[in-house]
Amino acid sequence: DDPRDETLRHYSYGVAMPAICCLGILGNVLNLVVLTRRNMKGTAYIYMRGYSAAALLAILFAIPFCLRLRIYKDSGRWNNLPQAFYHEHLELFLGNACLGVGVMMLLALTVERYISVCHPGRTQPLIGPPRLIVCLIPLLTFLIYLPNAFRYELRPCLLSPGGPLFYQREDNKRLLDSVIYSTYKVVLEVVFKVGPTVLLAALNMRIMIVYRRSCERRRRMILCRTSSSDDDPRTFAEERRLILLLGSTSILFLVCVSPMVILNVTLSQRNLSMYSYQVFRAVANLLEVTNYSMTFYIYCLFSEDFRNTLLRTFGWPW
């Protein structure tokens, strides 16, 4: 191992990642507390609850991932078979599947916003009943991610004849070198990373344009009725908050998720032996967890309804 790897693991997975995970767990728990209040009953809030639940699970699954990299490194050396089995078959599968569920929930939420703002006369949901969609997304996503559970093999090892048995993880080369799996990895990244990034940016841009035009029409109508040059400050504030909310979520998603596209397609034991790749991997992992940890704080900044419900829930001011 490169002697710099230990320092990188310490600061990335022993300091930065736990701090981000703590913020994310707190934020997503508070998200679920607020979003389950009786006044949060709209269709959008159903998808927001699904997104927060998926993000919370993804962050929780990131904790054993950090512990493995910090303590056992990449190949691991486990004396406990269930622990070795989890890190070999379930660690990446469960974590990445939850991240995929979060992406699809966010995309469904954005489509719902797009329909409500850009096509307000539409009465039927474009993608189906929200509660059914929230149930189907995890089921289908976990099925799609299932092949990732077999990308590693567990190898029993002995340090010496008659010595203690331990287990190490190694690449399943037959699977990873196959054309089908190579194609599957690319398609997976397009479906759950590249495609949603483009769609989120396009839909949010369209929402902002249509909403601004709608606000302009309302302002002109108010001016015509009142013959006054004073603009409604609440309208300006609402417009600004929506634009900032949509813009910040789109930019955050683009910046934080894009590096994972490259990482997931190129991940292999050979690349992991290079220090530069380890640095890139650490940055990509930190950014992705950050993306799923910041939602609560963005909602608090830009959503007045969310902020007021949070304050009422905890009885502020005391």
CA distances from 210 to 106, 122, 201, 207, 215 (A): 20, 16, 14, 5, 9
pLDDT(229) > 50: no
**pTM: predicted TM-score of the whole model, two decimal places:** 0.86
Residue 112 CA to residue 44 CA, distance in Å, equals 7
Question: Token pair of 131, please?
Answer: 């509660």
pLDDT(43) > 70: yes
Mean pLDDT, the chain, rounded, equals 85
Q: 170 or 240: which carries more pLDDT confidence?
A: 170
pLDDT (0 to 100) of residue 79 = 84
Residue 251 CA to residue 311 CA, distance in Å, equals 27
Question: Token pair of 258, please?
Answer: 């894009």
Strands (E), the chain: 152-158, 165-171
pLDDT(232) > 60: no
Mean pLDDT comparison of 21-25, 152-156, 169-173, 268-272, highest-scoring range: 21-25
Q: Once rounded to an integer, what is the mean pLDDT over residues 286-310? A: 89
pLDDT(180) > 90: yes
Residues in Cβ contact with 197 at an 8 Å cutoff, skipping those fewer than 6 apart? 253, 254, 257, 258
Residue 144 CA to residue 100 CA, distance in Å, equals 10
Residue 194 CA to residue 188 CA, distance in Å, equals 9
CA distances from 103 to 21, 84, 138, 156, 252 (A): 18, 29, 11, 37, 13
pLDDT(244) > 50: yes
pLDDT(201) > 70: yes
Q: Once rounded to an integer, what is the mean pLDDT over residues 116-145? A: 85
Find, among 246, 218, 223, the residue nearest to 302 by Cα.
246
Identify the CATH assignment for 4-313 out of 1.20.1070.10, 3.40.640.10, 1.10.10.60, 3.40.50.1950: 1.20.1070.10
Q: What are the DSSP calls for 100-150, one per residue?
A: HHHHHHHHHHHHHHHHHHH-TT--S-TTS-HHHHHHHHHHHHHHHHGGGGG
The full length of the chain comes to 318
Does a cis peptide bond (omega within 30 degrees of 0) precede residue 317? yes
